[in-house]
Structure 1
Amino acid sequence: MAEKKQNNYAEIVLACIEEKYFKDEIVLEHHSVVKIISGEMKIILADKTHTFGSGDMLLFPRNQLCTLIKYPKDGRNYRSVVMTLTTERLKTFFTKNPIRSSEHHNQKILTFEKHPLLESFFSSIIPYFELESELPEKITALKIEEILTILRNIDQNIDGILADFSEPGKISIADFMEKNFMFNMAIEKFAYLTGRSLTTFKKDFKIAFKTTPQKWLTEKRLELAYYELSEKKRKPVDVYYETGFENLSHFSYAFKKHFGYSPTKLSEKKI
């Protein structure tokens, strides 16, 4: 399953999901502004889960680790406008518009209330997706500058996110992994987000956990899945993707190998 982009210009796209649901773990290289037109999107963070629907608008900060699940709602496919705010665009913008605030936002996902400026802006964007060719570069640049201006008008402290071009610094592997093990990301991504090279990450991981990253991740995910099935009485099909497994068959195989019985038996209380 994959997103269909009706305008193939990378910075402004219309994402359409026609399947039952679309799921992916992401760490965005750039900030991303999303306006949901129809359907629903669930965003699973390490400490919280958000559900957004038609009309909602949000900002994904870059380097935010999360799981996205997009699915139809009320008989309508998932559709959203997605705008990528590249570092290059932002640096250009802030050379002309002095940074007003460098205060760090505590929100991992920023949401915005309905606002006339936002409503008008996205109403002007949607007709562009009828184009059979790419959106002209000059229009793309103008629309991105416009959305940045609107966001700064609505949130006086948003520069603390938009104008932060720093890379992840070296942080505690133990703390980070304990909070984020359920995300099915490549080891290289975990290394980057903890401020390490892959080699240093594996070395520091061995010191912290006395085992390899892959073995530790599998065991932690299975323990979480066991808790969800036994204590919260959830079904395997609703658990595997939230605990870091790629598909249900892989989850069932790993679960049975580790515990000696299938997740279905546990959820049905047959053990």
Structure 2
Amino acid sequence: MKFNNIQSCHLGPEISPEQFIPEHFFLYLLNGSMISYDGYKHYKMQAGDYCIARKNHLVRYTKHKEDGLFEKVLITFDEAFLRKFLKRHPYHIEPTDNTDSFLFINEDKLIQNFIHSLEPYYNGTEQLDDAFSDVKREELLIILLKNNPDLANIFFNFNTPHKIDLESFMNHNFKFNISLERFAFMTGRSLSTFKREFKTIFNTSPGKWLMDKRLQEAYFLLDKENKKPTDIYVDLGFEDLSHFSYVFKKQYGFSPAQLNKKTMP
């Protein structure tokens, strides 16, 4: 399904720019493609795909344009909206062992027609107010639950993350550039408890450990995998190349580019 001369459409609260999904959202790709990685699995989306991105998951996105375009429909199902919905439409909730960060949705006529109904808001001929935005979000949620009843166990689970193994989680997710508060939340701890237990396990502070761990990984990728500094700094949680180069040189006595030249065949 394609539209001409459209813009991306977004309904609901804004999604955080962090590599952390704070609220569930429905995503439909109109143009382009996207590969997401949650530390465990890669998820590939092509134009025409539908999926649900799950809250309280760490992810990294790589977006690819098609004919210079990356366009999407993004509809947020925030907790406040979901709680109101659940009061009007009660569902029986059961625990689920599904841990995927992205759940792909099969296309059907109801979803197709829903996407078509948003077309006036893509081309700018109509404006969505907050009340109508909630109506459209409720319509989509009813469609999704009609076709995929098990989604209720995910959408209406309002529990916070439970306390998990801190050492295993950090060793698996150190590349994600999120705040210590987010790391604490994801491991089911308060910030003070997180810092205290981290010190006991790793015998150093979270900030120093994260920096050392990322730089060790950078050294390996440059030295053994012949990666370029420009290809790895973002994936390792550094916000810009100059800062990465500065802290790398401070740690090892030479810049990433100098090590890269030594190891190039």
Pairs aligned (count): 256
Asked if 2 retains the 8 angstrom alpha-carbon contact of 1:25 and 1:66, the reply is: no
Matched, 1:89 2:89: no
Aligned to 2:141: 148
Q: Percent identity?
A: 33
Matched, 1:247 2:248: no
TM-score norm. by structure 1 comes to: 0.84
SS in 1 for 2:149: coil
SS in 2 for 1:221: helix
Aligned to 2:152: 159
Moved more, 56-65 or 35-44: 35-44
Equivalent positions of 1:1-271 (< 5 A) are: 11=12, 25-73=18-66, 75-104=67-96, 105-131=98-124, 134-270=127-263
In structure 2, list runs of 5 or more residues that go unmatched: 1-6
Counterpart Cα distance in 2 of 1:118 and 1:264:
49
Could you list the per-position Cα deviations for residues 8-54 of structure 1 after superposition, in whole angstroms to 9, with x for gaps in the alignment? x76178x9xxxxxxxx5422321111111112323221122333232
Asked if 2 retains the 8 angstrom alpha-carbon contact of 1:118 and 1:150, the reply is: yes
TM-score norm. by structure 2 comes to: 0.86
Deviation at 1:210, TM superposition (A): 0.3
RMSD: 2.5
Deviation at 1:100, TM superposition (A): 4.3
Asked if 1 retains the 8 angstrom alpha-carbon contact of 2:26 and 2:52, the reply is: yes
Asked if 2 retains the 8 angstrom alpha-carbon contact of 1:103 and 1:157, the reply is: no
Change (3 A) 1:70 1:118: same
SS in 2 for 1:80: strand
Counterpart residue type for residue 181 of structure 1:
F
Asked if 1 retains the 8 angstrom alpha-carbon contact of 2:222 and 2:263, the reply is: no
Aligned to 1:20: none
Counterpart Cα distance in 1 of 2:28 and 2:232:
27
Counterpart residue type for residue 161 of structure 1:
I
SS in 1 for 2:34: strand
In structure 1, list runs of 5 or more residues that go unmatched: 16-23
Change (3 A) 1:41 1:197: same
Deviation at 1:137, TM superposition (A): 3.2
Deviation at 1:78, TM superposition (A): 1.5
Counterpart Cα distance in 2 of 1:103 and 1:154:
19
